[in-house]
Each structure stands twice: as structure tokens, then as C-alpha cells.
Amino acid sequence: MRTAPKRAALAAAITALLALALASASPGEVVRQGNLQGSFNGGISPQRLPRTELAPVAVTKGGKIATTDRTTPPKLERIVLQINSHGALQTKGLATCSLAKLDSLPSKEAKQLCAGALVGHGNVTSRVSLPGQGAFASNADLLAFNGRLHGHQAVLAQVSSGAPLPLTYVIAFEVLKTKGTFGTTLAATLPPIASEYGYISAFNLALSRRYESHGKQLSFASASCPAPAGFPGAPFPFAKASYSFADGRTLSAKLVRDCKVRGN
């Protein structure tokens, strides 16, 4: 049987390890493979959550793509975002918007007609190089809608840019339930941008929506804080993300974040 001083020493050691893990968790991770570089960022808000029950949160994910030698990176073909199993995406009673509608409507009309399915927003930056013209950056707004894809839940991200090159396209994230540390996966194959003359260099996506269904208040995104009993908070593997490119390379990173137990 452990004496009180030994128990106190053990608790102090565990607390020190948790503090070290928290200090080492940076707000953004950078991964390189050859000259290709990708940064990954994201988190949840609020950080103070129940220990076991789910509570409404906003989930943010994003990143940037570049090369260390300033050459044009290979085309980004696929984005996979995985969320810790202590979080969930709830769609019961939530309206949906179709991929066909978002492909054919400008963002203003889509936002009006699919307002009940709106679950997030963000932005996308692309680098475009058209024949006979110099390269330029195209900044676009992103609206995320609840939808369906291949029989599964989906997050349909409509991207709309203005001058100098107006574009509208949809990044369709299929939502899959998995087992293990990361219980929800959002996977998307990217469409051609500017007839293959452009590539995505940065994106940010925030998912958050509270709604009512059959008299109950629900949240599209929710989470709990997986801190061990007796501890006021803990670092945890919040998410895993990967970018796959046309030349066969893949950049991946795990994002470690921290949470605090509500009421402690």
C-alpha cells in the first residue's frame, strides 16, 4: 500500500508530465518531404468541456502548402481530416443540401436556399497561372453545408472567389465513422481548379452549428474532455490530417491539443 508521501510524489510526477506535454503542443505543425512542405493547424473551442458528456464546440482545421525552393508544388489531390473519438458530428434532424445544387448556384443563392444545412465557413487561397499571364493568388470564401455523398453523411464545402478570376466549385468531404483513437474521418478528393491551371496553397475550415430538432437543442459538432479521473485537464490527440499529391507524396501530421474539465 502506498504511503501518502509516495502518492503525492506520484501525483506530482504525473502532473509534471502533463505540463511538459502541454508545453510541447504547438498551435501548428510543419511537415517536410523533400522540397515539399505542409503546415497543419486546428483546435476546438471552448477548451473547457465535460469529462464524459458531449458539449457543443466549434472545430477548426486548416493548413498551408509550399515548397522550400519556391518552385510550384505538385497538385494537391486529396485531403483527409480525422477527429478524436471523444468528438462527434451530429446531423439528426438537420437539413441537407445537394451537391448538384451547390455546383450550380452562386454562393449568395446557395446560402439563402440551403440556410438550414449551413454548418461552417472558411476560406481557400489558390495560386493560379494562366497561359500568357503571370501567376497570381486567388482568395475565396468557403461555406460548408450538411449533405450526402455515396450514401454517407458529407460536409459539402462550396468555394467561391471574386476578381480577378471568379470561380465556384465544391470540395466534398465524405464523413466516415471509424474505430480507434480517431472516430470520425472527413475525406475529400479535390476538383480541378481553373481548368488545372491552379492549385490550393492554403485553407481554413470551421465547423459549428446549433439547431433545434423536435424540441431539443442539438449541436453539429460536440466533444468531451478525455482527462483521467482526478485531473483537471489533459493533452490529447485532437486530430490527424494528411495531404496527398499528384506526384505520389503524402504529408501527414498529428495535432495534440489540451482541454480542461468543466467544473474543475
From the number of C-beta atoms within 10 Å of its C-beta (0-12, 13-18, 19+), residue 39 rates as: middle
Stretch 29-55: mean pLDDT? 95
pLDDT in tens, 136-180: 888 999 999 999 998 899 999 999 988 777 888 999 999 999 889
Nearest C-alpha neighbor of 206 from the set 98, 25, 81 = 81
* Integer Cα distance of 132 and 138 in angstroms: 17
pLDDT in tens, 120-143: 999 999 888 777 777 788 899 999
pLDDT in tens, 182-224: 999 999 999 877 557 678 899 999 999 999 999 999 999 999 9
- Give start and end residues of each alpha helix (H) in the chain: 4-24, 99-104, 107-113
